[in-house]
Structure 1
Amino acid sequence: MGGDAVNVEVSPRALRLFVFDLDDTLYAERDYVRSGFAHIARITADSAGIPAEDIEVFLWDGFNEKVRGNAFDLLLTAFPEIAVHWTVGRLIEEYRGHKPSIATDPTLKSLLRTLRQSGSKIGVLTDGPVQSQRSKYNSLQLAANVDIAIFNDEFGVEYRKPNERGFRAIMSAFHFPPEMCVYVGDNPEKDFYAPRRLGWHSVRLRLPSQLRHELEPASADYFPDLEFNALAGLVQYLENCCHCSCSTESK
């Protein structure tokens, strides 16, 4: 996921609570999609008598052509042999329930350890079906360096971002003032609206490899405070914010 190193000219803030989005922030979302398609190809190939590679290529080519939401409908239409044994509903269940082959960039993993070792608190706040989001979280082995993980769909889909509920749940767990909290995400359609309203700091990681890197905020209410187009710049900035907080407390 990482981009080229950049020089950070932004003055750091004293931050103590660092909360991260999951998809396309702590791992590359397209890797999850590819992993899910590979799983679907493996489980459907034998029963349909079709090479798994052909199924995976069909799904992945569609994804690269911006097919969203109906990939499995198109699959069953293109390969009637699969439709004899599988329904769209079962394929969705398999996709969401599979153990994904995904990884957090080593630089980000090191950042999480550094922040936590400094005494800062680390959170993850994510939307999406709970089964798949928990599977991603567990596959990334984030629990060792995360103090709290909020899966908004456990409250109900109506509480997905930009709703404030997940952010408020994290605030109530640690009691830091809003100005010492930061949310790091990728999606300007929903990630930064609630933090801005609550008085948090907000940072966008914007990399060419992300699925939503071309999206722009709909209005000023949806803008992050900062944006980084390289992972190295984000890491340097957050580490500086952590050190700034530690220096402030030691005075």
Structure 2
Amino acid sequence: MMILVFDLDDTLYDEMTFVRSGFSKVSEYLEKKYRVPPRESFALMLNLLRQNGRGRVFNDLLSNYGLSQGNIKKCLSIYRSHEPAISLYEEADDCLNRFKGIPKYIVTDGNKLVQENKIKALNLGQRVKFSFITHRYGRIHSKPSPYCFFKICEKEKCLPQQVIYVADNPGKDFVGIKPFGFITVRVLTGQYRNVSAAKAYQADYSINSLSELTPGFVRSLARRI
């Protein structure tokens, strides 16, 4: 029996939809409290994200409107705690249905509350055996650490060679688990789809979308053990 493990962000759904959902809630808050035009602030946050990445979006947003930096914690809280308007990729939904008879898990990095809210919004609790949010176990066990993958081996009483990890980020998803024999599959979706990587960071296999993760493909991996 093979075990399927999935990454979450940009593997099962488009992470940018979560970002937009969170920014929308922050815009609503700023409109109610400071009468900041919501469409304008939303567009500004997206622009700041494109220009500078996530680190200072709320800092620069507040500065733009002359608002106190003391609002950063509130903006972060709204962003992290909101119930996101997100949905699975159609290919991901179909893929999970195809493998109803196979044990399935999620291993994902990130803020515990944020990732829990995503998993709940996507109704994944009903479709996988367990979701490992690595930060629950301490950041030292976030990817590329193999810690949560060995937890899956313990639960399933299986070898690493029976575990297939499907993920999108070659920067951290595969390098930590490949040396132990876990099978790695990169799905070319999301923000890292065009990123190349050194050999140690590459997955064993690549697919263009989860529609290519078929029972036949999984059987072919099992035969190579």
TM over 0.5: yes
State the partner residue of 2:192.
212
State the partner residue of 1:108.
92
Q: Which has the higher contact order (CA 8 A, sep 6+)?
A: 1
2:17 touches 2:85 (CA, 8 Å); kept in 1?
A: yes
Distance 1:243 1:143 in 2: 26
Which residues in structure 2 correspond to 1:12-161 (within 5 Å)?
Answer: 16-80=2-66, 82-83=67-68, 87-116=71-100, 119-161=101-143
Q: The residue matched to 1:128 in structure 2 has which SS?
A: coil
Distance 2:214 2:134 in 1: 24
**TM-score (norm: length of structure 2):** 0.92
CA deviations over 1:209-242 (Å, ceiling 9, x no partner): x22233322x3221101112x32xx433333234
Cα distance 1:244–1:197, how it changes in 2: closer, same or farther (>3 A)?
A: closer
Measured after TM superposition, the shift of residue 115 of structure 1 is: 0.6
Q: The residue matched to 1:149 in structure 2 has which SS?
A: strand
Distance 2:56 2:16 in 1: 16
CA deviations over 1:50-108 (Å, ceiling 9, x no partner): 2111110110122233432110000110012x438x52122111111111111102221
State the partner residue of 2:217.
241
Instruction: State the identity as a percent.
Output: 25
Cα distance 1:225–1:243, how it changes in 2: closer, same or farther (>3 A)?
A: closer
Matched residue type, 1:170: I
1:224 to 203, 220, 224: 203
Distance 1:246 1:127 in 2: 27
For these two proteins, the number of residue pairs brought into alignment is: 223
Measured after TM superposition, the shift of residue 179 of structure 1 is: 1.8
Unmatched 5+ stretches in structure 2? none
1:115 touches 1:242 (CA, 8 Å); kept in 2?
A: no
Q: The residue matched to 1:65 in structure 2 has which SS?
A: helix
Measured after TM superposition, the shift of residue 123 of structure 1 is: 0.4
Distance 2:176 2:151 in 1: 12
Matched residue type, 1:211: Q
State the partner residue of 1:11.
none
Distance 1:243 1:167 in 2: 21
1:103 touches 1:140 (CA, 8 Å); kept in 2?
A: yes
Matched residue type, 2:71: T
Tell me the C-alpha RMSD between the 2 structures.
Answer: 2.0
Distance 2:139 2:221 in 1: 35
Distance 1:236 1:216 in 2: 20
Distance 1:199 1:32 in 2: 33
